[in-house]
Structure 1
Amino acid sequence: MERGIPDGEPVAHGGVSGRVPLAVVVVDGDGMVSHWSTGARRLFGHTKEEAVGRPAGDLLPVSGALPRDAGAYGEYDVLGPDLGSSLDGRISYPAAGRARLTASTRGRERIDVLWWAYPLVGPGPERLLVLAADAARLAAAGDPDGGHVERIAPGFALHTDFPGADELAGRLPEILPSMSVGESARIVAQVLELGYPVLEFSQHDRVPVTPDWGVPRRAERRARRQRAEAAAAAGLTPPPGPPEDADDDLEYAAVREHLEFLNEVSGRIGSSLDLSRTIQEVSRAVVPRFTDVAGTYLREQVVAGEGFPEGVPDETTLWHRVAVEHTDEPGRWDDVVPVGESMPFPAHTPFFQCMTSGEPVLVPRITEEMGNAIASQFEKRDIRPLINHRSMLVVPLKARNVVLGFMILLRHRERPVFNDMDRVTGAELAARAGLVLDNARMYTYQESVADTLQDSMLPHIQPRMSGCDIATRYLPGTLLGRVGGDWFDSVKLPGARTALVVGDVMGHGLNSAAMMGQLRTAVQTMAALDLPPAQLLRNLDDLAQRLGEHYLATCLYAVYDPIAGELHLANAGHIPPVLVRAVDGRSELLDLPTGAPIGVGGVPFESVRVRVAPGDRLLMCTDGLVEVRGEDIGVGLATLVESAAHPAASMDDACDTIIRALAVTFSKAGRGDRKDDVALLMARLNGVVSADVGHWRLAPDPSEVSRARDLVRTRLRDWDLDALTDTAVLLVSELITNAVRHARGGRIGLRLVRSGRLLCEVEDDDATLPTLLSAGPGDEFGRGLRIVTSLAKEWGTSRTSAGKTVWFELPLPR
């Protein structure tokens, strides 16, 4: 805020045109100085260290904006109108005034000061912005009353009696120069509504980032100095020109402006690792201070979140337009160069030169010829009115010497053209932005890899199994990484049974996820062998010991038999499951032997059997759902039991209800940050009624094969499944024939189960599992299982305590 002069009325002082130094002071709600600018030190004589923390009334000639007892600065006379007020000693509304003061720190010098005070409206403690200027410097411009400044600064308070406030309000957008349309509209709306300046907003009126403000080049200054020396040697009057010290001051200010701009941009970008947000931060950081239009293009691999792009870009490389920020009227750029468009750039364009060389390309003014060449890339859209005669700078966005993208920067015609110092500034800006973009790209890529890895390791469970419906949820950890060791699974078992498993490898990250993948595969394999739950956990513990001693895991394994209406469960250090009874809606934690985690070694596991009824629901989850650091796990378990009992329209709705209930509970307790991942499995145990089961015992005699065919044909007719009769009879005939041939004299069992699909099981006392053979034209045996493989949807074998079971499934007709 170094300028307060209306358009067209510059102020000259000391050879410096158009700049009026202002003292900028911020006062906190207690009346203490919290910010003291360099201008304040020059005007009032106190250093920043002396001023900050002291009462503002002891340092500033501010009347009416602070409580009456806030102190007084030396000797001063208030000459201007008191526009402020104090309500109960608090900052209320804008004030302004003029004072002639005597400051001891300035050698009793009398200073004529104009000041303005604005309450800052926004988050945080109440604060006051105080601006002050030396009226003598304004008098040097030919306006001894300092009216130029007084007509602008107090005018932001529209509810004061300031003359011309309405006219000024109509010109507010003009007072916000070179600003994007959206930002300007938002600020103007707030100013008009509140009558206050906008908090956390800084703008330099018509002071663009340029290498100088009319400062001659060093070569020109050297030539001018040589001409002056030659004229003096010849006894002539030196040619007129600005003093050298003025040139030095302005050149120093220009360089400082560039450095401050780069420092400001570095602070504004990189606040997020989200790629799209980072791109927006980079675009908004340069508009409007450095440029009026900024278009950002990225390579296809970067936008897609793939690996690091390889090779030098060529004319076939696709560049995605990911952001366009500008200060033109709304919609002017949106239709011509929409965000999201992809296009290549030919070799004759400055964009191709930038992306292949990796260096900035400066075009002082886009000529008609160049504008036509660029516009030829945009089919049926005339981009020439947007770019012709504007200054353009194309800067590459690089990381590790690879061009990830580039930015096209354009300035309006009335603004100074880009020059060599802008090129250097743009290159430094692009280098910092490229590094930030690469960090965001790498994070996005790693996040994508993590999601893909986790998704590939978690099973895609069918919502309906034999005798039960299943719903699952997986939530990645919010703070400790998106990859974890939690998993759930379901395995189809012989006899229409289903194995349900939930596990949790302790720790986070790729190592835990890899260990989880190995344990889940092992559970799948051992479950297919139809091992009892306790024996399966025993074998899993032995496997974990062989894999390494650095990982532990908890696991809950349950086998549901829908025909017997029974759950067979074993626990390895996992939180117990919840069983919701269908008859009365009562929910309870099942009391299971806890057992030790997988990987401890040498610990026995026990299993229990629980009777269940059709419609009961079993809920299994990992501790990430019910446990939050600093909170008793009993609170989470109680909430889990209570929320599981609530009725829901569907299984998915029930899972969502439970997750929301746990989130609300921990949020109320101030433990809203869930760090661990969550695996949740809910099964509705529908059961299989006796009418859907057919079970027969057959003698190991070849004559029983025809009897088995008749039994199957009759039962399928009773079930209205005549469409399956031919196939089912043929397959049953093959399995019974094989059982009769290999049976050791014991009885043969045949069972049909109708549950979502038709299941057929043949049981005998021979433990030798049949294998699929390759039968030749002359072979008498080996074709039975090939027929089963061709006609059945699925088939398999498993050992039992008395022998083996061979089964197949057929889909039910629609």
Structure 2
Amino acid sequence: MDLDVPPHRAPQPREAVAGRVPLAVVVVDTDGLVSHWSTGARRLFGVAREDAIGCPAGELLPVSGALPQESEPGPSGGTYGDFGPELDGSLSGTVAYPAAGRARVDQPERGRIDILWWAYPLVGPAAERLLVLAADAVPLHSGDEGGAPDSETIAPGFALHTDFPDYRDLVGRLPEILPNMSVHEATRIVSQVLELGYPTLEFSRHARIPVTPDWGVPRRSVRSRPDDPETAADGAPAPRAVRRPELDLEYAAVRERLEFLNEVSGRIGTSLDLERTIREVTSAAVPRFTDFAGTHLRAAVLAGEGFPDGPPDVTTVWHRVWVEHNDEPGRWDDTVPVGESIAFPQHTPFFQCMVTGEPVLVPYVGEEMSNRISGEFEKRDLRPLITHRSLLIVPLKARDVVLGFMVLMRRPGREPFDDMDRTTGAELAARAGLVLDNARMYTYQENVADTLQDSMLPQVEPRMAGCDIATRYLPGTRLGRIGGDWFDSVKLPGSRTALVVGDVMGHGLNSAAMMGQLRTAVLTMATMEMPPAQLLRNLDDLAQRLGEQYLATCLYAVYDPISSELQIANAGHIPPVLVRAEDGRAELLDLPTGAPIGVGGVAFETATIRVRPGDRLVLCTDGLVEVRGQDIGAGLATLCASAAHPAASMDDACDTIIRALNPKGGRKDDVALLMARLNGIPDDDVAEWQLALDAREVARARSLVRGKLLDWDLPDAVESAVLMVSELVTNAVNHGRIRHIGLRLVRTGALLCEVSDDEPAPATLLSASAHDESGRGLLVVSNLAREWGTSTTAHGKTVWFEQPLVRFPRPRSNTG
């Protein structure tokens, strides 16, 4: 029968068939002694089992290099030669690869015979360290047992068991070759044989035949036709059955597709990047399987929004991720551009595929069908691209949900897609869908991690009263980029600023969740004006109530720009760096270390540091200075050196530190960095007075505020400030006890006013009715001030407000 066979379906010169060969099976233990000796070994080597067990294997086996003894005499005085590659003779289980070879052996009854052998190194807890298989090569030369009568060269080799048809049946036969072994022992050894390679025979370097042991079971014959000349009259297969050409072609076609799928599987999934994965899948199909491949994903999948909700319909938006083809360049760019978002019409094969989740095959797109498909699209003409082509559309699914689909087309002149191609395309899409879903889940989890981390990190104001702040956060490269490092700045009464850096031990969502709880607690306690040591004490108690596994380090500092002081307490954190503006010298501050938050029962101390305007304070987490295998002192030294480096701005200074300590961006731990330039507030911008507990002092307070604001050239702030100061001083006079009232004005980027008295109860905003004679003071302040608040101290309370300053240039005088 003459068949027109396409080149890509041509069968191999020789078919690989399974050959059953009587095998000798021997297992050698760690000491080089025979522990298992099969009946086949007795027949091949002429040595009884009781004589072989416990005997040095080198005296019995022709396996050169795999045993401690080499060039030993054989069982009948002969020597073993032509042994092939050598193995480690220590039998220590460290050999990673098997070996094969040939040897001449003098057999007492048959004389000198040709032996083929395979040696597998074994690993595991048992004493077995070497598996040896051997066979007589003489029958193979005569064409028996699957051999070829015209073959001149026979050599043992190894190949993956998946390289042969019916490999599952071959795998099932492997346990039978191990004599007198338990299921556990046999399973362990068989798994290593499969991993290292299946024993094969190579004939004339053209064919490989997988070897299975022969236990006398009749050999399975290949299918043949009753009228074949080499078939017996009763229809039973002759000794050498003839395979029909149709079966050869079918086998070659199936094998080619399996090889294609295997090759594609190895090429895709090299990255968890979603778009790169799609490009890999699309490019792998062209030109071997198709001439055009275009991949579309649901917009929700590409955006990393999680699993799509519900089946697709005419409103579903699809994103064309990638197009690959071997047509002339630019032909597809205008009609099907990469990156386009599109909703596919209902009466098209594309819509049919994405709704049913099944492949759609159109072997030939004629002109009528081309007109019908193209007519569904309003703004594009697909006819020049799809007419006279073969079309296959396969869905990309995960957990029975369509995530996308691939459009595959073959040009005229190439064999159209058929049912076998549809199966191949569906299998390609199934494998791609699995990889795609993994990439989708990774992208979604990464987006969730980034969102969670961003939501937990504060938006620090770059300018606070008396200091400038710059921050950096670098996510780690492990565990979803989520960590427990954080920084924060808190605005406090009296123009003070709290600076905090913390690091929850561990990584992942648990650490990030604890970080959010601790950061919120610090923010709350800071606004209550707790001293640094007391704040860490309370934070430690909170961590212990949250759970024993909660541990964190923390550094909390309060900067007073008026008194030029830093109050700092440390809970097991790396020390901060202070860069002196006077001489540019950087030093690690020597602070009482304390224990990490969550340890419990450890006292914390507050240290007071005198600073000067222009000094810079650098706080960071250990991820910046710690490197595995290196002393942390080296990292701290580099931190000091880089912090002292001159920089044009605070951001530049932070970047200098990051570059010095993270040159390649490859640190696995996350990093938090906070730098504050302590500018201070000049004395000329601060005014303080003491007022008596007398109602007449309210008028005096108004006069003092008015005069100071005019001195500061702030006439537009006078009216509002005087009114609010009047209300706060009145409240202080009414509620104060025995001490005087404090009044302070601070001019920075805004105007800050503070009124203090010795009543500890915090000021409360009341809802006064139309008939109430009091209770409206704080309501007035709340409406006029940009911000206001109250804080309680050991000596009383302070009520403050802040109002913006608008400076208008005064007109120049025309006189004189």
Measured in 2, the distance between the counterparts of 1:370 and 1:685 equals 76
Measured in 1, the distance between the counterparts of 2:443 and 2:247 equals 47
Measured in 2, the distance between the counterparts of 1:329 and 1:51 equals 51
**Kept after mapping to 1: 8 A contact 2:559/2:565:** yes
Measured in 2, the distance between the counterparts of 1:17 and 1:470 equals 70
Q: Which runs of structure 2 are paired with 1:625-636 in the superposition (5 Å)?
A: 625-636=624-635
Measured in 1, the distance between the counterparts of 2:430 and 2:527 equals 57
- Provide the residue aligned with 1:505 in structure 2: 504
Counterparts in 2 of 1:226 and 1:698: CA distance versus 1, 3 Å: same
**Kept after mapping to 2: 8 A contact 1:626/1:637:** yes
For residues 184-240 of structure 1, the C-alpha deviation after alignment (integer angstroms, 9 at most, x for no partner) is xxxxxxxxxxxxxxxxxxxxxxxxxxxxxxxxxxxxxx9x989999xxx9xxxxxxx
- Provide the residue aligned with 2:315 in structure 1: 316
Measured in 2, the distance between the counterparts of 1:109 and 1:798 equals 99
Provide the secondary structure at the position in 1 that maps to 2:672.
Answer: strand
How far the C-alpha of 1:351 sits from its partner, in A, is 0.9
- Provide the residue aligned with 1:677 in structure 2: 670
Measured in 1, the distance between the counterparts of 2:8 and 2:704 equals 109
Measured in 1, the distance between the counterparts of 2:8 and 2:330 equals 39
1:730 maps to which of 720, 723, 728: 723
Counterparts in 2 of 1:19 and 1:442: CA distance versus 1, 3 Å: closer
Mapped pair 1:649 → 2:648: yes
Q: Which runs of structure 2 are paired with 1:453-472 in the superposition (5 Å)?
A: 453-472=452-471
Mapped pair 1:718 → 2:717: no
- Provide the residue aligned with 1:81 in structure 2: none
Provide the secondary structure at the position in 1 that maps to 2:324.
Answer: strand
Mapped pair 1:375 → 2:370: no
- Provide the residue aligned with 1:747 in structure 2: 740
Provide the secondary structure at the position in 2 that maps to 1:481.
Answer: helix
- Provide the residue aligned with 1:534 in structure 2: 533
The residue type equivalent to 1:777 in the other structure is: A
Mapped pair 1:784 → 2:783: no
**Kept after mapping to 2: 8 A contact 1:577/1:618:** yes
The residue type equivalent to 2:559 in the other structure is: Y
How far the C-alpha of 1:411 sits from its partner, in A, is 0.7
- Provide the residue aligned with 1:807 in structure 2: 800
2:767 maps to which of 755, 769, 774: 774
How far the C-alpha of 1:17 sits from its partner, in A, is 9.9
- Provide the residue aligned with 2:685 in structure 1: 692
Counterparts in 2 of 1:405 and 1:594: CA distance versus 1, 3 Å: same
**Kept after mapping to 1: 8 A contact 2:225/2:244:** no
Counterparts in 2 of 1:19 and 1:247: CA distance versus 1, 3 Å: closer
**Kept after mapping to 2: 8 A contact 1:775/1:782:** yes
- Provide the residue aligned with 2:32 in structure 1: none
Measured in 1, the distance between the counterparts of 2:667 and 2:337 equals 39
Measured in 2, the distance between the counterparts of 1:376 and 1:492 equals 65
Counterparts in 2 of 1:411 and 1:473: CA distance versus 1, 3 Å: same
**Kept after mapping to 1: 8 A contact 2:445/2:480:** no
- Provide the residue aligned with 2:698 in structure 1: 705
Mapped pair 1:763 → 2:756: yes
Q: Paired residues, what number?
A: 599
How far the C-alpha of 1:752 sits from its partner, in A, is 0.5
**Kept after mapping to 1: 8 A contact 2:9/2:249:** no
For residues 165-186 of structure 1, the C-alpha deviation after alignment (integer angstroms, 9 at most, x for no partner) is xxxxxxxxxxxxxxxxxxxxxx
Question: Which is worse superposed, 686-695 or 315-324?
Answer: 315-324
- Provide the residue aligned with 2:202 in structure 1: none
Measured in 1, the distance between the counterparts of 2:10 and 2:431 equals 32
Provide the secondary structure at the position in 1 that maps to 2:244.
Answer: helix
How far the C-alpha of 1:372 sits from its partner, in A, is 2.6
Measured in 2, the distance between the counterparts of 1:17 and 1:682 equals 69
The residue type equivalent to 1:281 in the other structure is: E
Mapped pair 1:419 → 2:418: yes
Mapped pair 1:328 → 2:321: no
**Kept after mapping to 2: 8 A contact 1:581/1:615:** yes
- Provide the residue aligned with 2:256 in structure 1: 257
Provide the secondary structure at the position in 2 that maps to 1:624.
Answer: helix
- Provide the residue aligned with 1:562 in structure 2: 561
Mapped pair 1:494 → 2:493: yes
Counterparts in 2 of 1:263 and 1:108: CA distance versus 1, 3 Å: closer
**Kept after mapping to 2: 8 A contact 1:319/1:342:** yes
How far the C-alpha of 1:722 sits from its partner, in A, is 1.1
Measured in 2, the distance between the counterparts of 1:110 and 1:592 equals 85
Counterparts in 2 of 1:253 and 1:811: CA distance versus 1, 3 Å: same
How far the C-alpha of 1:247 sits from its partner, in A, is 2.7
The residue type equivalent to 1:799 in the other structure is: T
Measured in 2, the distance between the counterparts of 1:369 and 1:713 equals 90
**Kept after mapping to 2: 8 A contact 1:321/1:341:** yes
The residue type equivalent to 1:805 in the other structure is: T
Provide the secondary structure at the position in 2 that maps to 1:470.
Answer: strand
Measured in 2, the distance between the counterparts of 1:317 and 1:108 equals 64
Q: Which runs of structure 2 are paired with 1:578-617 in the superposition (5 Å)?
A: 578-617=577-616
**Kept after mapping to 2: 8 A contact 1:480/1:676:** no
- Provide the residue aligned with 1:302 in structure 2: 301
- Provide the residue aligned with 1:477 in structure 2: 476
Question: Which is worse superposed, 425-434 or 495-504?
Answer: 425-434
**Kept after mapping to 1: 8 A contact 2:9/2:256:** no
Counterparts in 2 of 1:650 and 1:716: CA distance versus 1, 3 Å: same
How far the C-alpha of 1:270 sits from its partner, in A, is 1.1
Q: Which runs of structure 2 are paired with 1:179-328 in the superposition (5 Å)?
A: 245-328=244-327
**Kept after mapping to 2: 8 A contact 1:480/1:675:** no
Question: Which is worse superposed, 363-372 or 443-452?
Answer: 363-372
- Provide the residue aligned with 1:141 in structure 2: none
1:794 maps to which of 787, 790, 794: 787
How far the C-alpha of 1:576 sits from its partner, in A, is 0.2
The residue type equivalent to 1:782 in the other structure is: G
How far the C-alpha of 1:379 sits from its partner, in A, is 4.5
**Kept after mapping to 1: 8 A contact 2:10/2:249:** no
- Provide the residue aligned with 1:396 in structure 2: 395
How far the C-alpha of 1:481 sits from its partner, in A, is 2.9
Counterparts in 2 of 1:411 and 1:12: CA distance versus 1, 3 Å: closer
Counterparts in 2 of 1:600 and 1:16: CA distance versus 1, 3 Å: closer
How far the C-alpha of 1:16 sits from its partner, in A, is 12
**Kept after mapping to 2: 8 A contact 1:477/1:483:** yes
The residue type equivalent to 2:793 in the other structure is: T
Counterparts in 2 of 1:279 and 1:752: CA distance versus 1, 3 Å: same
**Kept after mapping to 2: 8 A contact 1:12/1:19:** no
How far the C-alpha of 1:109 sits from its partner, in A, is 9.0
How far the C-alpha of 1:673 sits from its partner, in A, is 3.9
Q: Which runs of structure 2 are paired with 1:339-350 in the superposition (5 Å)?
A: 339-350=338-349
Q: Which runs of structure 2 are paired with 1:91-170 in the superposition (5 Å)?
A: none
How far the C-alpha of 1:380 sits from its partner, in A, is 4.1
Measured in 2, the distance between the counterparts of 1:770 and 1:109 equals 105
Counterparts in 2 of 1:586 and 1:226: CA distance versus 1, 3 Å: same
Question: Which is worse superposed, 367-376 or 289-298?
Answer: 367-376
Provide the secondary structure at the position in 2 that maps to 1:697.
Answer: strand
The residue type equivalent to 1:711 in the other structure is: L
How far the C-alpha of 1:378 sits from its partner, in A, is 4.6
Counterparts in 2 of 1:464 and 1:611: CA distance versus 1, 3 Å: same
Mapped pair 1:637 → 2:630: no
The residue type equivalent to 1:741 in the other structure is: N
Measured in 1, the distance between the counterparts of 2:769 and 2:643 equals 58
**Kept after mapping to 2: 8 A contact 1:565/1:614:** yes
Measured in 1, the distance between the counterparts of 2:401 and 2:4 equals 48
Counterparts in 2 of 1:244 and 1:545: CA distance versus 1, 3 Å: closer
Counterparts in 2 of 1:244 and 1:109: CA distance versus 1, 3 Å: closer
Counterparts in 2 of 1:556 and 1:110: CA distance versus 1, 3 Å: closer
Q: Which runs of structure 2 are paired with 1:60-79 in the superposition (5 Å)?
A: none
How far the C-alpha of 1:558 sits from its partner, in A, is 0.3
Counterparts in 2 of 1:323 and 1:457: CA distance versus 1, 3 Å: same
Measured in 1, the distance between the counterparts of 2:778 and 2:373 equals 69
How far the C-alpha of 1:628 sits from its partner, in A, is 1.5
How far the C-alpha of 1:368 sits from its partner, in A, is 2.0
